[in-house]
A = this chain, B = another copy of it.
Amino acid sequence: MELFEAIKTRRSIRAFSNEPISQEILSELVNAGVWAPSAGNMQAWRFIIITDSNQIEKIKNLSPGIFGKPKAVIAVCSDFDEATKKSGLQGERFAIIDASMAAENILLAAHDKGLGACVIGSFHELALQRLLNLPPNIKPILLIILGFPAETPKPPKRKFEEIIWWEVYK
């Protein structure tokens, strides 16, 4: 798919068919993610791919924003110890920025593959850390739910003239 087409036709998809997603495709998505920029090439991001339906059900129970039945979840996490070691006081902030840019690549790549995806930013952080067996230094930043789409949402309304300024804010 052409880049601009992918950017402009991607939608947040929350309803999924029962068709599973191959490990190969899921790996490709993460591989697209790691080509996002990373502050000082620190690569503090960590990706946990969950496909087990029981495990996904448990993730649903601690994430109020998940409604449908995703066939996979990618937990985009960050090693805050490594981020702080490599980027100092700004490490955690840079880790969140890096993880989010990687997530956008994953969303676009999923759309290119015919998948639907949605970012979930709200979850019980400590419960998720325990469920995914994450050590204290590795924090989940966001979740990406994935599946073949069972809905075709209309484009949301997007502001443009109201959120752009030239040279200075007025």
Instruction: List the interface of chain A (C-beta within 8 A of B).
Output: 1-4, 6-8, 10, 12, 23, 27, 30-32, 34-39, 41, 43, 45-52, 55, 90, 93-94, 96-98, 100-101, 103-105, 107-109, 112, 118-119, 121-122, 131-135, 138, 141-142, 156-160, 163-170
Contacts and interface: CB of A to CB of B under 8 A. Distances in A.
Contacts of A160: 30-31, 34
Contact of A121 (B7, B93, B105): B93
B109 A163 contact: no
A52 B168 CA distance: 10
**Count of chain copies:** 2
A22 B2 CA distance: 22
B96 A167 contact: no
Contact of A3 (B1, B51, B135): B1
Nearest to A27: B164
A108 B3 contact: yes
Contacts of A48: 164-169
B47 A164 contact: yes
Contacts of A133: 168-170
Contact of A156 (B41, B93, B101, B141): B41
